[in-house]
A = this chain, B = another copy of it.
Protein backbone atom coordinates (compact mmCIF):
# COMPACT_ATOMS: atom_id res chain seq x y z
CA UNK A 1 0.00 0.00 0.00
CA UNK A 2 2.99 2.36 -0.23
CA UNK A 3 1.55 3.75 -3.48
CA UNK A 4 -1.56 4.76 -1.61
CA UNK A 5 0.42 6.37 1.22
CA UNK A 6 2.51 8.47 -1.12
CA UNK A 7 -0.59 9.39 -3.14
CA UNK A 8 -2.27 10.59 0.06
CA UNK A 9 0.76 12.53 1.30
CA UNK A 10 0.81 14.47 -1.94
CA UNK A 11 -2.62 15.84 -1.01
CA UNK A 12 -1.34 17.89 1.91
CA UNK A 13 -1.94 21.58 1.24
CA UNK A 14 -4.24 20.80 -1.70
CA UNK A 15 -7.89 21.87 -1.92
CA UNK A 16 -10.52 19.38 -0.84
CA UNK A 17 -11.88 18.86 -4.36
CA UNK A 18 -8.64 17.11 -5.32
CA UNK A 19 -9.26 14.20 -2.94
CA UNK A 20 -10.01 11.15 -5.09
CA UNK A 21 -12.86 8.86 -4.08
CA UNK A 22 -13.89 7.00 -2.10
CA UNK A 23 -11.92 8.49 0.79
CA UNK A 24 -12.39 8.87 4.51
CA UNK A 25 -12.21 12.53 5.45
CA UNK A 26 -12.17 14.22 8.87
CA UNK A 27 -13.47 17.78 9.18
CA UNK A 28 -10.74 18.75 11.64
CA UNK A 29 -12.50 21.93 12.74
CA UNK A 30 -15.67 20.03 13.66
CA UNK A 31 -13.65 17.30 15.38
CA UNK A 32 -11.79 19.89 17.45
CA UNK A 33 -15.06 21.49 18.50
CA UNK A 34 -16.40 18.06 19.54
CA UNK A 35 -13.26 17.44 21.56
CA UNK A 36 -13.60 20.81 23.30
CA UNK A 37 -17.24 20.14 24.12
CA UNK A 38 -16.37 16.78 25.66
CA UNK A 39 -13.50 18.22 27.73
CA UNK A 40 -15.77 20.98 28.99
CA UNK A 41 -18.55 18.51 29.79
CA UNK A 42 -16.23 16.25 31.80
CA UNK A 43 -14.76 19.20 33.68
CA UNK A 44 -18.18 20.53 34.56
CA UNK A 45 -19.26 17.13 35.89
CA UNK A 46 -15.97 16.43 37.69
CA UNK A 47 -15.65 13.11 35.90
CA UNK A 48 -12.67 11.41 34.26
CA UNK A 49 -12.89 10.55 30.58
CA UNK A 50 -11.03 7.77 28.88
CA UNK A 51 -12.25 7.77 25.28
CA UNK A 52 -12.47 4.54 23.36
CA UNK A 53 -9.65 4.38 20.80
CA UNK A 54 -11.45 1.51 19.04
CA UNK A 55 -13.19 4.37 17.20
CA UNK A 56 -10.20 6.01 15.56
CA UNK A 57 -7.41 3.42 16.10
CA UNK A 58 -4.98 6.32 15.76
CA UNK A 59 -2.06 7.16 18.05
CA UNK A 60 -2.18 10.77 16.88
CA UNK A 61 -5.85 11.23 17.77
CA UNK A 62 -5.32 9.44 21.10
CA UNK A 63 -2.59 11.93 21.95
CA UNK A 64 -4.84 14.81 20.91
CA UNK A 65 -7.43 13.47 23.37
CA UNK A 66 -4.86 13.16 26.16
CA UNK A 67 -3.78 16.73 25.54
CA UNK A 68 -7.41 17.84 25.83
CA UNK A 69 -7.69 16.23 29.25
CA UNK A 70 -8.46 12.53 28.75
CA UNK A 71 -6.83 10.32 31.42
CA UNK A 72 -5.95 7.59 28.93
CA UNK A 73 -7.66 5.48 26.29
CA UNK A 74 -9.74 2.33 26.17
CA UNK A 75 -9.16 -0.38 23.57
CA UNK A 76 -10.91 -3.70 22.89
CA UNK A 77 -8.00 -5.78 21.64
CA UNK A 78 -4.53 -6.68 22.87
CA UNK A 79 -3.07 -5.72 19.50
CA UNK A 80 -4.69 -2.28 19.74
CA UNK A 81 -3.08 -1.83 23.17
CA UNK A 82 0.29 -2.83 21.75
CA UNK A 83 0.00 -0.25 18.97
CA UNK A 84 -1.01 2.50 21.42
CA UNK A 85 1.88 1.71 23.78
CA UNK A 86 4.37 1.49 20.91
CA UNK A 87 3.16 4.94 19.80
CA UNK A 88 3.69 6.45 23.24
CA UNK A 89 0.16 6.23 24.69
CA UNK A 90 0.76 4.54 28.04
CA UNK A 91 -2.50 4.67 29.98
CA UNK A 92 -4.36 1.95 28.18
CA UNK A 93 -7.36 0.00 29.41
CA UNK A 94 -8.36 -3.16 27.52
CA UNK A 95 -12.07 -2.89 28.31
CA UNK A 96 -12.71 -6.47 27.29
CA UNK A 97 -12.05 -10.04 28.40
CA UNK A 98 -8.80 -11.69 27.27
CA UNK A 99 -8.65 -15.46 27.65
CA UNK A 100 -6.05 -16.92 25.27
CA UNK A 101 -2.79 -17.61 27.16
CA UNK A 102 -0.76 -16.35 24.18
CA UNK A 103 -2.58 -13.02 24.31
CA UNK A 104 -2.34 -12.77 28.09
CA UNK A 105 1.42 -13.14 27.77
CA UNK A 106 1.35 -10.14 25.43
CA UNK A 107 -0.80 -8.16 27.90
CA UNK A 108 1.65 -9.00 30.69
CA UNK A 109 4.56 -7.97 28.46
CA UNK A 110 2.87 -4.60 28.00
CA UNK A 111 2.80 -4.07 31.77
CA UNK A 112 6.56 -4.65 31.71
CA UNK A 113 7.00 -2.24 28.80
CA UNK A 114 5.25 0.67 30.51
CA UNK A 115 7.22 2.26 33.36
CA UNK A 116 5.20 3.39 36.43
CA UNK A 117 5.92 7.08 35.74
CA UNK A 118 4.61 6.68 32.18
CA UNK A 119 1.26 5.07 32.78
CA UNK A 120 -0.61 1.92 33.62
CA UNK A 121 -2.13 -1.01 31.75
CA UNK A 122 -5.57 -2.21 32.81
CA UNK A 123 -7.89 -5.04 31.73
CA UNK A 124 -11.42 -6.31 32.34
CA UNK A 125 -12.34 -9.77 33.63
CA UNK A 126 -15.61 -11.63 34.06
CA UNK A 127 -14.57 -15.17 35.08
CA UNK A 128 -12.50 -16.89 37.74
CA UNK A 129 -10.63 -18.74 35.01
CA UNK A 130 -9.87 -15.41 33.38
CA UNK A 131 -8.42 -14.07 36.64
CA UNK A 132 -6.31 -17.19 37.18
CA UNK A 133 -4.95 -17.13 33.63
CA UNK A 134 -4.11 -13.42 33.89
CA UNK A 135 -2.33 -13.96 37.21
CA UNK A 136 -0.34 -16.82 35.69
CA UNK A 137 0.74 -14.65 32.74
CA UNK A 138 1.69 -11.78 35.06
CA UNK A 139 3.75 -14.09 37.28
CA UNK A 140 5.64 -15.43 34.29
CA UNK A 141 6.26 -11.90 32.97
CA UNK A 142 7.55 -10.80 36.38
CA UNK A 143 10.06 -13.65 36.35
CA UNK A 144 11.15 -13.13 32.76
CA UNK A 145 10.75 -9.35 32.56
CA UNK A 146 12.67 -6.32 33.69
CA UNK A 147 10.55 -5.60 36.75
CA UNK A 148 9.54 -8.19 39.37
CA UNK A 149 6.94 -5.88 40.93
CA UNK A 150 4.78 -4.86 37.97
CA UNK A 151 1.03 -4.97 38.47
CA UNK A 152 -1.95 -4.81 36.16
CA UNK A 153 -5.10 -2.88 37.07
CA UNK A 154 -8.15 -5.10 36.86
CA UNK A 155 -11.77 -4.05 36.46
CA UNK A 156 -14.53 -6.58 37.09
CA UNK A 157 -17.11 -6.31 34.34
CA UNK A 158 -20.73 -6.20 35.43
CA UNK A 159 -23.56 -7.11 33.10
CA UNK A 160 -25.70 -4.01 33.45
CA UNK A 161 -28.24 -4.92 30.78
CA UNK A 162 -26.19 -5.52 27.66
CA UNK A 163 -26.51 -9.32 27.97
CA UNK A 164 -23.08 -9.91 26.47
CA UNK A 165 -20.06 -10.16 28.79
CA UNK A 166 -20.06 -9.27 32.47
CA UNK A 167 -21.38 -10.85 35.68
CA UNK A 168 -24.05 -10.38 38.35
CA UNK A 169 -23.19 -8.52 41.59
CA UNK A 170 -22.60 -11.72 43.63
CA UNK A 171 -20.13 -13.07 41.12
CA UNK A 172 -18.45 -9.66 40.94
CA UNK A 173 -17.70 -9.94 44.65
CA UNK A 174 -16.15 -13.39 44.15
CA UNK A 175 -14.01 -12.10 41.31
CA UNK A 176 -12.83 -9.07 43.32
CA UNK A 177 -11.84 -11.36 46.18
CA UNK A 178 -10.01 -13.69 43.81
CA UNK A 179 -8.16 -10.78 42.17
CA UNK A 180 -6.95 -9.63 45.60
CA UNK A 181 -5.27 -12.99 46.18
CA UNK A 182 -2.78 -12.35 43.36
CA UNK A 183 -0.01 -9.84 44.09
CA UNK A 184 0.44 -8.93 40.42
CA UNK A 185 -3.24 -8.02 40.03
CA UNK A 186 -4.79 -4.87 41.49
CA UNK A 187 -8.56 -4.69 41.80
CA UNK A 188 -9.37 -1.11 40.82
CA UNK A 189 -13.08 -1.07 40.17
CA UNK A 190 -16.07 -2.03 38.06
CA UNK A 191 -16.78 -1.82 34.38
CA UNK A 192 -20.48 -1.05 33.89
CA UNK A 193 -20.94 -0.39 30.18
CA UNK A 194 -24.45 -0.56 28.79
CA UNK A 195 -23.97 -0.83 25.03
CA UNK A 196 -27.61 -1.32 24.14
CA UNK A 197 -28.61 1.85 26.01
CA UNK A 198 -26.52 3.94 23.60
CA UNK A 199 -28.88 3.35 20.71
CA UNK A 200 -32.26 3.59 22.42
CA UNK A 201 -33.94 6.39 20.52
CA UNK A 202 -35.90 8.15 23.26
CA UNK A 203 -34.20 9.97 26.13
CA UNK A 204 -36.68 8.33 28.52
CA UNK A 205 -35.74 4.78 27.45
CA UNK A 206 -32.08 5.61 27.97
CA UNK A 207 -32.85 7.03 31.43
CA UNK A 208 -34.58 3.77 32.42
CA UNK A 209 -31.70 1.66 31.08
CA UNK A 210 -28.95 3.62 32.82
CA UNK A 211 -30.97 3.79 36.07
CA UNK A 212 -30.98 0.00 36.06
CA UNK A 213 -27.22 -0.05 35.36
CA UNK A 214 -26.73 2.26 38.35
CA UNK A 215 -28.81 -0.12 40.50
CA UNK A 216 -26.51 -3.01 39.57
CA UNK A 217 -23.45 -0.92 40.44
CA UNK A 218 -24.91 0.13 43.80
CA UNK A 219 -25.86 -3.45 44.66
CA UNK A 220 -22.34 -4.61 43.84
CA UNK A 221 -20.80 -1.81 45.85
CA UNK A 222 -22.84 -2.82 48.89
CA UNK A 223 -21.71 -6.45 48.59
CA UNK A 224 -18.10 -5.35 48.27
CA UNK A 225 -18.28 -2.95 51.18
CA UNK A 226 -19.89 -5.58 53.39
CA UNK A 227 -16.66 -7.55 52.86
CA UNK A 228 -14.52 -4.52 53.60
CA UNK A 229 -13.65 -3.92 49.94
CA UNK A 230 -13.85 -0.59 48.14
CA UNK A 231 -15.66 -0.69 44.80
CA UNK A 232 -13.08 1.73 43.42
CA UNK A 233 -13.63 3.42 40.09
CA UNK A 234 -16.77 2.74 38.06
CA UNK A 235 -16.07 3.03 34.33
CA UNK A 236 -18.47 2.85 31.38
CA UNK A 237 -20.82 4.96 29.27
CA UNK A 238 -20.86 5.90 25.63
CA UNK A 239 -21.80 8.85 23.45
CA UNK A 240 -25.50 7.95 23.53
CA UNK A 241 -25.90 8.05 27.30
CA UNK A 242 -22.97 9.99 28.78
CA UNK A 243 -25.21 12.66 30.28
CA UNK A 244 -26.82 10.00 32.44
CA UNK A 245 -23.68 8.30 33.74
CA UNK A 246 -22.10 11.71 34.40
CA UNK A 247 -25.09 12.70 36.55
CA UNK A 248 -25.43 9.31 38.25
CA UNK A 249 -23.11 9.95 41.18
CA UNK A 250 -21.64 6.45 40.88
CA UNK A 251 -19.70 6.53 37.60
CA UNK A 252 -16.23 8.01 37.87
CA UNK A 253 -15.07 7.59 34.26
CA UNK A 254 -16.66 7.96 30.82
CA UNK A 255 -15.52 5.72 27.96
CA UNK A 256 -17.41 7.57 25.20
CA UNK A 257 -15.46 7.71 21.96
CA UNK A 258 -17.90 8.34 19.10
CA UNK A 259 -18.50 12.00 20.08
CA UNK A 260 -15.30 12.78 18.14
CA UNK A 261 -16.91 11.88 14.80
CA UNK A 262 -20.66 11.43 15.50
CA UNK A 263 -22.25 8.55 13.63
CA UNK A 264 -25.40 9.03 11.56
CA UNK A 265 -26.97 6.50 13.93
CA UNK A 266 -26.24 8.53 17.09
CA UNK A 267 -27.64 11.64 15.41
CA UNK A 268 -31.01 9.86 15.27
CA UNK A 269 -31.24 9.63 19.07
CA UNK A 270 -33.61 12.11 20.72
CA UNK A 271 -31.12 14.52 22.24
CA UNK A 272 -31.05 14.96 26.00
CA UNK A 273 -30.99 18.73 26.59
CA UNK A 274 -27.86 18.32 28.75
CA UNK A 275 -26.00 16.51 25.96
CA UNK A 276 -23.28 18.55 24.24
CA UNK A 277 -24.09 19.40 20.60
CA UNK A 278 -21.68 17.06 18.85
CA UNK A 279 -21.35 17.53 15.08
CA UNK A 280 -20.63 15.08 12.28
CA UNK A 281 -16.89 15.23 11.68
CA UNK A 282 -16.21 12.04 9.68
CA UNK A 283 -17.29 11.63 6.08
CA UNK A 284 -16.83 9.30 3.17
CA UNK A 285 -16.20 11.39 0.08
CA UNK A 286 -17.67 9.71 -2.97
CA UNK A 287 -18.48 10.57 -6.57
CA UNK A 288 -21.15 9.70 -9.08
CA UNK A 289 -20.00 7.16 -11.68
CA UNK A 290 -23.28 6.34 -13.43
CA UNK A 291 -26.52 8.29 -13.93
CA UNK A 292 -29.91 6.89 -14.96
CA UNK A 293 -33.54 7.85 -15.06
CA UNK A 294 -34.52 8.01 -11.39
CA UNK A 295 -31.21 7.01 -9.80
CA UNK A 296 -27.50 7.69 -9.78
CA UNK A 297 -24.69 5.39 -8.66
CA UNK A 298 -21.72 6.47 -6.55
CA UNK A 299 -18.41 4.72 -5.98
CA UNK A 300 -18.78 4.08 -2.23
CA UNK A 301 -20.29 0.75 -1.18
CA UNK A 302 -19.94 -1.19 2.00
CA UNK A 303 -16.25 -1.81 1.48
CA UNK A 304 -15.84 1.91 2.25
CA UNK A 305 -18.33 2.29 5.11
CA UNK A 306 -19.87 -0.06 7.65
CA UNK A 307 -23.60 -0.73 7.42
CA UNK A 308 -24.21 -2.58 10.69
CA UNK A 309 -26.01 0.46 12.16
CA UNK A 310 -27.75 1.53 8.99
CA UNK A 311 -26.78 2.97 5.64
CA UNK A 312 -24.95 6.29 5.40
CA UNK A 313 -26.75 9.61 5.04
CA UNK A 314 -26.01 11.90 2.12
CA UNK A 315 -24.72 15.15 3.62
CA UNK A 316 -25.98 18.48 2.24
CA UNK A 317 -26.22 17.50 -1.44
CA UNK A 318 -28.13 20.56 -2.45
CA UNK A 319 -29.82 23.38 -0.58
CA UNK A 320 -33.16 22.55 -2.12
CA UNK A 321 -33.19 18.80 -2.33
CA UNK A 322 -31.94 15.72 -0.59
CA UNK A 323 -30.71 12.34 -1.69
CA UNK A 324 -31.22 8.97 -0.11
CA UNK A 325 -28.53 6.31 -0.15
CA UNK A 326 -29.49 2.70 -0.92
CA UNK A 327 -27.25 -0.35 -0.72
CA UNK A 328 -25.58 -1.05 -4.06
CA UNK A 329 -23.21 -3.76 -2.83
CA UNK A 330 -19.53 -3.81 -1.96
CA UNK A 331 -18.41 -1.00 -4.25
CA UNK A 332 -21.54 0.94 -5.24
CA UNK A 333 -24.16 3.13 -3.62
CA UNK A 334 -27.53 3.84 -5.23
CA UNK A 335 -28.77 7.41 -4.84
CA UNK A 336 -32.38 8.46 -5.28
CA UNK A 337 -34.04 11.82 -4.61
CA UNK A 338 -35.78 11.80 -1.25
CA UNK A 339 -39.55 12.16 -1.19
CA UNK A 340 -40.81 15.32 -2.84
CA UNK A 341 -37.56 15.89 -4.73
CA UNK A 342 -36.50 14.98 -8.22
CA UNK A 343 -33.01 16.39 -8.73
CA UNK A 344 -30.19 13.89 -9.22
CA UNK A 345 -26.47 14.61 -9.10
CA UNK A 346 -24.53 14.59 -12.38
CA UNK A 347 -21.77 12.29 -13.55
CA UNK A 348 -18.58 12.97 -11.62
CA UNK A 349 -20.32 15.02 -8.91
CA UNK A 350 -18.70 14.75 -5.51
CA UNK A 351 -20.87 13.89 -2.52
CA UNK A 352 -20.28 13.41 1.21
CA UNK A 353 -21.67 10.50 3.18
CA UNK A 354 -22.09 10.40 6.96
CA UNK A 355 -21.40 6.79 8.00
CA UNK A 356 -24.05 4.98 10.02
CA UNK A 357 -21.35 3.70 12.39
CA UNK A 358 -17.92 5.32 12.49
CA UNK A 359 -15.88 2.65 14.41
CA UNK A 360 -16.07 -0.14 11.82
CA UNK A 361 -15.98 2.43 8.99
CA UNK A 362 -12.58 3.74 10.13
CA UNK A 363 -11.39 0.13 10.36
CA UNK A 364 -11.91 -0.27 6.59
CA UNK A 365 -9.42 2.49 5.76
CA UNK A 366 -5.66 2.79 6.01
CA UNK A 367 -5.81 6.52 6.60
CA UNK A 368 -8.10 9.44 7.30
CA UNK A 369 -7.63 12.70 5.39
CA UNK A 370 -7.79 15.67 7.77
CA UNK A 371 -9.31 18.81 6.24
CA UNK A 372 -9.39 22.36 7.62
CA UNK A 373 -11.69 25.11 6.40
CA UNK A 374 -14.77 23.00 5.67
CA UNK A 375 -15.77 20.40 3.12
CA UNK A 376 -16.50 22.88 0.32
CA UNK A 377 -13.57 25.27 0.39
CA UNK A 378 -11.16 23.54 2.77
CA UNK A 379 -7.60 22.35 2.42
CA UNK A 380 -5.98 19.03 3.32
CA UNK A 381 -4.07 19.63 6.54
CA UNK A 382 -2.71 16.19 7.38
CA UNK A 383 -3.01 12.46 6.73
CA UNK A 384 -3.89 10.51 9.87
CA UNK A 385 -2.92 6.85 9.78
CA UNK A 386 -5.38 4.29 11.12
CA UNK A 387 -2.51 2.67 13.03
CA UNK A 388 -4.54 -0.18 14.48
CA UNK A 389 -6.63 -0.92 11.39
CA UNK A 390 -7.31 -4.63 11.29
CA UNK A 391 -5.71 -5.16 14.71
CA UNK A 392 -8.00 -7.98 15.78
CA UNK A 393 -6.13 -10.31 18.09
Binding site for B on A (CB under 8 A): 1, 3-4, 20-23, 54, 76-77, 79, 82, 96-100, 102-103, 126-127, 129-130, 159, 163-166, 195, 287-292, 295, 297, 299, 302-304, 306-308, 327-332, 334, 347-348, 359-360, 363-366, 389-393
Contacts and interface: CB of A to CB of B under 8 A. Distances in A.
A16 to B, nearest CB: 14
Given A127-B347, A304-B392, A307-B308, A328 B288 contact: no
Copies of this protein in the assembly total 2
Contact of A347 (B1, B96, B130): B130
Nearest to A307: B308
B327 A392 contact: no
A348 to B, nearest CB: 5
Contacts of A166: 290
A20 B348 contact: no
Nearest to A300: B392
8 contacts: A22-B393, A99-B287, A100-B348, A127-B290, A159-B292, A166-B290, A303-B360, A365-B392
Contact of A329 (B164, B329, B332): B164
Given A20-B103, A164-B334, 12 more contacts: A4-B390, A20-B393, A22-B393, A76-B331, A98-B289, A99-B289, A127-B290, A130-B347, A164-B290, A165-B297, A303-B392, A365-B392
A61 to B, nearest CB: 17
A357 B99 CA distance: 28
Nearest to A171: B292
Nearest to A363: B303
A307 B290 CA distance: 26
Contacts of A163: 295, 334
Contacts of A327: 308
Contacts of A366: 390
Given A165-B289, A366-B390, A100 B360 contact: no
A362 to B, nearest CB: 10
A127 to B, nearest CB: 6
Contacts of A359: 303, 330
A100 B393 contact: no
Nearest to A3: B82
**Looking at A23, A287, A289, which has the most chain B CB atoms within 10 Å of its CB?**
A289
Contact of A330 (B54, B292, B304, B393): B54
B99 A347 contact: yes
Contact of A360 (B79, B287, B330): B330
A223 to B, nearest CB: 19
Shortest 10 CB-CB contacts between residues of A and residues of B:
A165-B290, A97-B289, A76-B331, A99-B289, A20-B393, A22-B392, A366-B390, A302-B308, A97-B290, A99-B348
A85 to B, nearest CB: 12
A291 B129 CA distance: 11
B329 A291 contact: no
A4 B389 CA distance: 11
B99 A288 contact: yes
**Looking at A288, A360, A365, A390, which has the most chain B CB atoms within 10 Å of its CB?**
A390
